Amino acid sequence: MQHTRRPRLARRYGSVNWRGLWVLYSRKAVLRFLRYGLESIAGPVVSSCIFVTVFVLALGGGAPMSPDLTLAQFVIPGIAMFTLAQVAFDSAAVMIIHDKQEGIIEDVLMAPLTPFEITLGYCLGAATNGLITGGVLMAIFAIFIDLPFSDPMMAVGFAFGGTVLFSLVGVIVGIWAERWDHFSAAETFLVMPLGLLSGTFFSIDRVPDGYDWLLLGNPMFHAINGFRTALTGHSDASVLAGGLFIAGLAGLLALLAWRLFAIGYRIKA
Amino acid sequence: MQSSPTTKPLSPRKMGAINGRGLWTLYVKEVRRFMNVFSQTLLAPMVTTLLFLAVFALALGGAGRQAGGVDYILFLGPGLIMMSMVQNSFANTSSSILIAKVQGNIVDLLMPPLSPAELVIGVAGGGVTRGVMVGFVVALGMSLFVPLSIHNPGFIVWHAVNASLMLALLGLIGGIWAEKFDHIAAVTNFIITPFSFLSGTFYSIERLPENWSFIAHLNPFFYMIDGFRYGFIGHADGSLAIGFFLVLAVNLFLGFTAHRMIATGYRLKA
């Protein structure tokens, strides 16, 4: 008897398990989102369109937000940014809480993925979902509203930064949450206030004196302001400082999420 | 013979035309279900509504903008209260029925000696209670920032109860119809939210172009919000009499539909 076949070897890979990362990103995050395309994309898109309609109807004809923009031009970049950040947050948090509750988070933890790869997979997956929704939304808005798109690369950059930031928030909330109540609490008391009080609907000079810091300390404000600047050329604050603020905060949150996965906080018994 | 005449044999509980105890138990179960997580079901709507109020107040820039003959913020307040009420009554009944169906404990509602009418009243009653309580909490929170005044309490109560009832019944019907959570999310996203947002909560209907304002007058949500707001500010965009009877008629129709669905066991009994 002679063994002609070689024994099977463990799959080899370098310092990053690219195939594993790709599977986590594509199958677990993005394809799962696209499978429920109607609810997951059309739902937020419809709500945003309603928001714009209501807002323009309610406030149209009033004092303009800024001399060079119409109300719709002012509001639309903000609403689009808010929607994509919210979808990214929801997507990341729901994914992780669902996996935890069904007990299938073990499949991710057992796989030969480092904590860093897990963080990256979940975060980029959720960010992609946010960007897909945002892309659909912007395509619709661009038909009806005249947007100059003065700096497309900057628009993409800020959209990416904002979604990554909020998907990291979603990852951390997902790890922390033990029940769905915790998720809704985070959404109601953290994401909604950040999103609504962010200069989406009003420019910074409408804020009473002494409360400017509320806006300037809100990463959502900087994401929206940068995105609006890129689309319309109108800026409320320093875009460079805003971009650095978002990048720094995203770096910190990524570090935190990585540590949480590494020590297995509320994931490993 | 060893009979003990002191203890009567057990016999089925007697009840009249209405199983009062059963109905009360069902109602209390529905109320406890949301009171158990009151931070999600009562406080969260208040926070969200106050955020909306802040956003619109800031966006207006404090200019003396008017709508419906009063300051815009006074016009907006009652509309926001009504919006939170309808969203919460709908969420209460739809989630109650759908979760029971998905988890299989809907049989606990269908097996007891409760008639379809009693089921409708018990479940919808829970939804109305949540809607009215949310409305009260939101109004309380709002009154810290907005000087709400009351013009006609009758209209406030009538429209608060009927609007909550309408959405509670819609939630009941939606919950029976839906087979997955996606279905109910779709109803919320594509029917309830558009109807409540585009119904004159945020703007006076006079602002709409001619043909659109005709369409807005066909929306029952418009009459609920309009009548409710009349109770506060004493100004109505549409006809109060039509609104008064329309909500009643819609509720009777929805109640009858829900009753038929439960009686025939549509998507409830195999």
- Supply the ipTM of this predicted assembly: 0.81
Parse chain B into domains and list their residue ranges: 21-59+67-264
Dihedral-angle region of residue B204 (phi above 0 means left; psi in -120 to 50 means alpha; beta otherwise): beta
pLDDT tens digits, one per residue of B238-257: 889 999 999 999 999 999 99
Helix, strand, coil percentages (3-state) for chain B, rounded to 5, are 70, 0, 25
| Separation in Å, CA B13 to CA B6, B22, B58 | 19, 11, 61
* A 123-162 near B (Cβ less than 8 A): none
% of residues, chain B, pLDDT over 70 = 96
How far does B222 lie from chain A, in Å, by closest CA?
Answer: 14
Parse chain A into domains and list their residue ranges: 18-263
**Which tops the pLDDT comparison, B221 or A268?**
B221
Per-residue pLDDT, B1: 52
Per-residue pLDDT, B48: 93
The partner residue sitting opposite A185, judged by closest CB among B39, B58, B201, is B39
CB atoms closer than 10 angstroms to residue A57: 18
Name every residue in B having a CB less than 8 A away from some CB of A. Answer: 37, 39-40, 44, 47-48, 51-52, 54-56, 58-63, 65, 182, 185-186, 189-190, 193-194, 197-198, 201-203, 207-208
Chain B residues close to A46, C-beta within 8 Å? 189-190, 193-194
Q: Which residues contact B68 (CB under 8 A, 6 or more apart)?
A: B75, B204, B229, B233, B235, B237
The partner residue sitting opposite A59, judged by closest CB among B52, B60, B186, is B60
How far does B138 lie from chain A, in Å, by closest CA?
Answer: 15
Q: What is the pLDDT along chain A (269 residues), one digit of tens a residue?
A: 566 777 788 778 888 889 889 988 988 888 888 887 777 888 899 989 988 888 888 777 666 677 778 888 888 999 999 999 999 999 999 999 999 999 889 988 888 899 999 999 999 999 999 999 999 999 999 888 888 888 889 999 999 999 999 999 999 999 999 988 899 999 999 999 999 888 888 888 888 888 888 889 999 999 999 999 999 888 888 999 999 999 999 999 999 999 999 999 988 87
Q: Which residue of B has its CA nearest to A47?
A: B189
Instruction: Determine whether the interchain pair A60/B207 forms a contact, defined as Cβ–Cβ distance below 8 Å.
Output: yes
B124 by Cβ neighbours in 10 Å (0-12 / 13-18 / 19+) ranks as buried
In a 3-state reduction of DSSP, which class is residue B71?
A: strand
Paired strand residues for A221? none
- Helices B153-177/B116-142 angle, 10° precision: 130
The partner residue sitting opposite B193, judged by closest CB among A50, A192, A200, is A50
Test mutation, A40, A50, A224, chain B, max B CBs within 10 A: A50
Joined tokens for residue B116:
């379809």
The partner residue sitting opposite A62, judged by closest CB among B63, B190, B208, is B63
The pLDDT of residue B168 is above 90: yes
Instruction: Determine whether the interchain pair A62/B194 forms a contact, defined as Cβ–Cβ distance below 8 Å.
Output: no
Dihedral-angle region of residue A119 (phi above 0 means left; psi in -120 to 50 means alpha; beta otherwise): alpha
Test mutation, B36, B41, B60, B87, chain A, max A CBs within 10 A: B60
Q: In this complex, is the C-beta atom of A101 within 8 Å of any C-beta atom belonging to chain B?
A: no
Instruction: Determine whether the interchain pair A193/B60 forms a contact, defined as Cβ–Cβ distance below 8 Å.
Output: no
CB atoms closer than 10 angstroms to residue B62: 11
| Separation in Å, CA A155 to CA A149, A167, A196, A232 | 8, 18, 20, 10
